Structure formats: C-alpha cells, structure tokens
C-alpha cells in the first residue's frame, strides 16, 4: 500500500516534520477545521487539496490568491505529484514523500526512493541559492529616513536578491538560507554589497544597516566584518541596527558599543516594542537611535488615548536619555501627524519614500 506524506517546517519550530496526507480529500489553508491549517497571511482560507486517483496523488489549487506550485510551476489544473516533488502554497514550502506500507516493509524505513537519499533540508531553490552566493547576485535598495521638517536624515539599506530564478525579497531568501545554514553568510553578503553601493553612490549620506540576529551570537565574526568594511570605506557614515530581541546581554552590548565607537559606527535598537521594551538595556547601553516598531505605529492616529499616552511616555523617556526616537513604518498622513505630535525626532515609511535604488 502506498502512503503519502508532506514534509516541511510545520508550526513554530525550525525542525522538519512529516504529516500523513490522510484522509482525502486532504485540504490545506488558513481555515482552522481543515486537515492542514496553515497560519500564514499569504495562504487563502481554503488554498489547495490533495486527492487520490488510482495509485497517484493529485494536487489541485482551489482558487487561491497567491497560487499553488509544483517544482516552481504554478498550477492551472490538477496535477499528479510524485515522490521528491517540491510544492509551494504561496510562500510555504513542502516536499512530497511516498512510502510503501505493503506487507513486510517497515512503515518508517522504506520509501520508494529511500529517505536516506534525500537531503535533510528542503532542496527547492538550493542550487539557485548557491549560485546567488557564489556570484554575489544581490543588490541593495535604500529607504529615506527624514527629520521633523521632512529633510533627509539618512537612508536604511535593505538587501534584495538578483537571481532571476529566485524571489528578490529578503524574507523568502532568508528562509532558504536558514534551511542551508547560510543565514549569517547571506546577511554578510547583503551588507557588504549594499554598503559598497552606498559608498559609491551616496558617500556623504548617513546609512543604517541591519544584521541577522544570529550574528549577535558570533560577535567576534561580526566585529571582524565591520572592521573590514571600515578599512574599505573609512569615511562612510553608518549606523548598525540591532533587533531589540537580541539585546539581552548588557556586558556584550557594552563591548560591542565600545568597538563601534572606535570605528565611528553608530548604534540603533531596532523594532523597539515588538516583543518587550527593554528599558534596562536602554539605560545601561544607550544607543544613538531607537526605532519604534511599525506594529506600534500602524493606525496610531486611530488608536486609543491610552496607547498614544503610553507611546508618548516611551518617546519622552528615550529622548531624555539623549537618544533619537524614530517612528518606523509610517504609511499614511494621519500616522505621520500623530507621530509628529507625540514628539518623534525621525520618521520612516512608505509615506516618506519607498525602498529604491540610489540615483
């Protein structure tokens, strides 16, 4: 008897899991009562389904918004899938596993091709991603950060892919990098490429740049790459952004801050308020900038007075420490007006400018 499984990163964990495709029809989507509910904004309520036709497994898209793909080809009609095929439901990736449960075969040990012959990681896009890394097929775009008079204060460097067989957005690329244990190397490539563009096209501007959270667990390697950058571009003004969730070791942050000062590189705490506002770290290792997370800023002009008062208190607290308060993710005039009213020093978001190549 042939039995089918889906293998992928299910739930919140980073480990691969395997789910039997049964019973059929086996439906997948955001709706909670489906055989496979998927919590992702890109997934439709009832996205796709599997069914059995003879001895074959058939995949059918159910009118989803963002599509169902087999080996990167979007489905326009039902399609038979086979062992080893890679499917995508919007941006979620799975591999098809077929097992032979006929008499005398071990249920988890025998597959038609053999599990041991397959990578322990999902391989779709792996070859293309290796090409991207080897050929440095990445670029950078820059989003303006403005002051209270809407004068340009700085740019934030945002990396993009430039391999035509892969998406250009960093999210899917970092998920692929993580499946190959290359997230730090990929982050370094985006950073070095983007800063080279900045030094060439806007050498007199201030540039904010990001790091991957895992880089904070390798501070020696991080500082080495920053020293290499500073030796290449001794006059480029820049600010290192660290996610607030990575600011957990005050002694480590003091050492990093000291090294950044020696290299004349500023420090910003990014996504402030996304998890817990780390007020203690703000006082022990104050940065130059605090970027308030866009989740706090979105629809702030329509928020309760209590929420606005809370954010105003945080803005005042930050500014009293001599730190610039930056509102991130401003998309509308109303949001810009209320952030101005609450005392923010700097502003960023689509309302002021989209991430684009430097002129």
pLDDT single digits (tens) 52-99: 998 899 999 999 998 899 987 889 999 999 988 888 898 788 889 998
Of residues 214 and 105, the one with the higher pLDDT is 214
- Average of pLDDT values for 115-119? 34
Region 300-317: what's the mean pLDDT? 95
Taken in order of first residue, the domains within the chain and their CATH numbers are 2-124 (2.60.200.20), 127-348 (3.20.20.450)
Residue 207 has pLDDT above 80, yes or no: yes
- Over residues 2-59, the pLDDT tens digits come to 899 998 877 655 556 789 999 999 999 999 999 999 988 789 999 999 999 988 999 9
Whole-number percent of the chain with pLDDT over 70? 89
Q: Are 47 and 29 in contact, with CB atoms under 8 Å apart?
A: yes
Mean pLDDT of 226-233: 96
> Which pLDDT belongs to residue 76?
93
Mean pLDDT of the chain, nearest integer? 87
Is residue 338 within 8 A of residue 300, CB to CB? The reply is: yes
Cβ atoms < 10 Å from Cβ of 156: 24
Q: Token pair for residue 27?
A: 């439906």
**Residue 237, pLDDT score:** 98
Stretch among 165-169, 179-183, 312-316, 319-323 having the lowest mean pLDDT: 179-183
pLDDT at residue 198, as a whole number: 97
Rg (CA), the chain: 24
- What strands lie across the sheet with 92-100, from one edge to the other? 17-20, 2-8, 92-100, 86-89, 68-70, 73-74
- With H, G, I as helix, E, B as strand and everything else as coil, classify residue 233: coil
* pLDDT of residue 317 exceeding 50: yes
Total-model pTM? 0.67
Least confident of 13-22, 195-204, 230-239, 281-290: 13-22
Mean pLDDT of 160-165: 94
| 279-303 tens-digit pLDDT | 777 788 899 999 999 999 999 999 9
Q: What is the pLDDT of residue 252?
A: 86
pLDDT computed for residue 110 by the predictor: 33
Output the pLDDT for position 117.
33
Residues 120, 19: contact at Cβ < 8 Å?
no
Look at residue 123 and tell me whether its pLDDT is greater than 90: no
* pLDDT in the model for residue 112: 33
Task: Kindly list the distances between the CA atom of residue 345 and the CA atoms of 92, 218, 319, 322, 333, in Å, as whole numbers in the listed order.
Answer: 38, 32, 9, 11, 16
205 near 155, Cβ under 8 Å? Answer: yes
pLDDT for the residue 242: 92
Residue 108 reports pLDDT greater than 90:
no
| The two three-digit tokens of residue 148, written as one number | 């209270």
pLDDT of 107: 39
Position 274 scores a pLDDT of 64
């Amino acid at each position: 008897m042939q039995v089918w499984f889906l293998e992928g990163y299910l739930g919140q964990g980073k480990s691969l899991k395997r789910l039997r495709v049964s019973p059929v029809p086996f439906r997948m989507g955001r709706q909670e009562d489906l055989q496979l509910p998927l919590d992702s904004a890109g997934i439709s309520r009832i996205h796709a389904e599997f069914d059995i036709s003879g001895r074959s497994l058939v995949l059918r898209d159910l009118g989803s918004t963002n599509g169902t793909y087999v080996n990167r080809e979007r489905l326009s009609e039902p399609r038979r899938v086979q062992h080893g095929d890679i499917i995508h439901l919007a941006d979620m990736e799975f591999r098809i596993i077929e097992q032979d449960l006929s008499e005398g075969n071990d249920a988890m040990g025998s597959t038609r091709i053999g599990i041991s012959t397959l990578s322990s990681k999902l391989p779709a896009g792996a070859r293309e991603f290796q090409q991207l890394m080897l050929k440095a097929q990445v670029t950078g775009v820059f989003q303006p950060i403005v002051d209270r008079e809407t004068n340009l204060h700085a740019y934030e460097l945002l990396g993009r892919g430039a391999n035509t067989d892969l998406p250009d957005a960093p999210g899917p690329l970092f998920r692929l990098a993580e499946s190959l244990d290359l997230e730090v190397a990929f982050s370094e490539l985006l950073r070095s490429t983007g800063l080279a563009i900045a030094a060439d096209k806007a050498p007199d501007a201030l540039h904010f740049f990001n790091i991957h959270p895992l880089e904070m667990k390798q501070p020696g390697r991080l500082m080495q790459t920053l020293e290499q950058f500073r030796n290449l571009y001794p006059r480029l003004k820049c600010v290192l952004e660290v996610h607030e969730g990575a600011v957990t070791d005050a002694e480590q942050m003091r050492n990093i801050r000291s090294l950044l000062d020696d290299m004349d590189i500023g420090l910003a705490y990014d996504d402030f308020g996304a998890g817990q506002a780390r007020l203690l770290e703000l006082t022990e290792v104050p940065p130059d900038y605090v970027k308030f997370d866009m989740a706090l800023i979105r629809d702030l002009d329509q928020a309760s007075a209590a929420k606005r008062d809370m954010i105003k208190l945080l803005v005042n607290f930050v500014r009293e420490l001599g730190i610039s308060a930056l509102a991130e993710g401003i998309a509308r005039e109303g949001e810009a007006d209320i952030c101005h009213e609450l005392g923010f020093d700097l502003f960023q978001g689509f309302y002021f400018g989209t991430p684009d190549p430097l002129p």
